[in-house]
Chains A and B, each alone.
Chain A
Amino acid sequence: MSDNITITIDGVEIPAKQGQTIMQAADDAGVYIPRLCAYNGLEPHGSCRVCTIKINGRFQAACTQPVAPGAIIENETDEINDIRKSIVEMFFVEGNHFCMFCEKSGNCELQALAYRLKIPAPRYPFLWPDRQVDASHPDVIIDKNRCVLCGRCVRASKDLDGKDVFGFVGRGPDKQLAIDATARLVDTDLDVRDKAIDACPVGSIMKKRVGFAIPIGQRKYDKKPIGSDIEDKNK
């Protein structure tokens, strides 16, 4: 059997290879599927569900679901986009996200998803959780108010940096990001050059002293929506 197959996304046939995920095949074909916990170079996590698509009528995560010959996939439909919106809105109300003074604003993937999905305000009540900031490290700060539990730092630290700086503790609504030290980030072997820091999609893990090197208004998602780099392949 040939490795080359064809799948259909929103009525358009695209080529795919056996063993690819739907997200990989879509990326190669210049079709953007919104995502948050998926990150190039890391094993997919399948946890945020922002990349929810419908395959043959069933909801699946595009980052973990393998392609199958003749799969009929829905991506940009009102139904699915409303689910994605609702997930992004939950991220906003479950943390403390203050874009107006966040150093990551304009480069933040959570904010960029909200812009792309045109979310004017979350539909859910805000929870205002009590979260901690750890600025003990000389070069890096963790602000858990902004953490969305995507696990990208956890995976990047383990798989790309060969360390184990980050992990999760707690369950359900109490789940939170933890570090490999009893108390402070400075006591871990985190280095400012670690890929785990760049992997953070939001302003939760930030390098110190470079926050405003690029001014607000000239940042990655200020002019072009998130996913444009993938969609531009089609132009």
Chain B
Amino acid sequence: MANDEKPKVATASLAGCFGCHMSILDIDDRILKLIELVDFNKSPIDDIKTFTARCAVGLIEGGCCNEENVHNLQEFRKNCDILISLGDCATMGGIPAMRNNIPLQECLDEAYLNGPTVHNPSGIIPSDPELPLLLNKVYPCHEVVKIDYHIPGCPPSADTIWEMLVALLTGKKIDLPYGLIKYD
């Protein structure tokens, strides 16, 4: 098959820890098989920063904690046929969502003024226009755009990601066996 006929996959890490991307790499030597099946487009894996073609599959790690995450996620929705939430942060908010029952100002005060290890003599809370504005809460991806599939897990195991991708790319029914749907 010529290179340009392969379906394209894009990935992003929003409010996540890159653990889910590590888990993608954890498919080990199967990654050789994966690059026979697909080309990677916009992704931290190949460092392509902007979409250069329409993608068959978009994998989103992390939920939305700031306006840049939302913008990025909307870009993915526009450019991908199938959008997948990858991991607990994308599907349920995850660790970043622990701030969701604390008012945002209190979070910032703790981080930049009152925290036990804070050294900030100027007492300034960063608010440069270059910095993406924080959202009031952290949102799972499906509360921001339409998401087609969810893969839970912190992170989802490499086997789960592999099974899911291969099923999608070969047009098979997705039916993950017990033990591959995990929330931890």
Q: Which residues in A have some Cβ–Cβ distance to B below 8 Å?
A: 92, 96-102, 105-106, 111, 114-116, 118-122, 125-126, 128-131, 216, 222-225
Contact = CB atoms under 8 A, between A and B. Distances in A.
A99 B184 contact: yes
Nearest to A116: B178
A99 B178 contact: no
A120 B95 contact: no
B140 A128 contact: no
Question: What 5 pairs across the A-B complex have the smallest Cβ distances?
Answer: A100-B154, A99-B183, A120-B150, A128-B100, A121-B150
Contacts of B184: 99-100, 102, 105-106, 111, 216
Contact of B85 (A121, A129, A222): A121
B181 A92 contact: no
Given A114-B183, A222-B179, A120 B97 contact: no
Contact of B181 (A98, A118, A125, A129): A118
Contacts, number: 69
Interface residues of B, number: 28
B96 to A, nearest CB: 11
Contacts of A96: 98, 100-101
B93 A126 contact: yes
Most B-side CB within 10 Å, residue of A92, A99, A105, A216: A99
A115 B92 contact: no
B183 A120 contact: no
Most A-side CB within 10 Å, residue of B88, B150, B182: B182
B137 A100 contact: no
A99 B88 contact: yes
Given A96-B101, A115-B178, A130-B101, 15 more contacts: A100-B88, A100-B94, A100-B183, A101-B95, A102-B184, A106-B184, A116-B178, A120-B150, A121-B92, A121-B140, A121-B142, A121-B147, A125-B143, A131-B101, A225-B178
B100 A98 contact: no
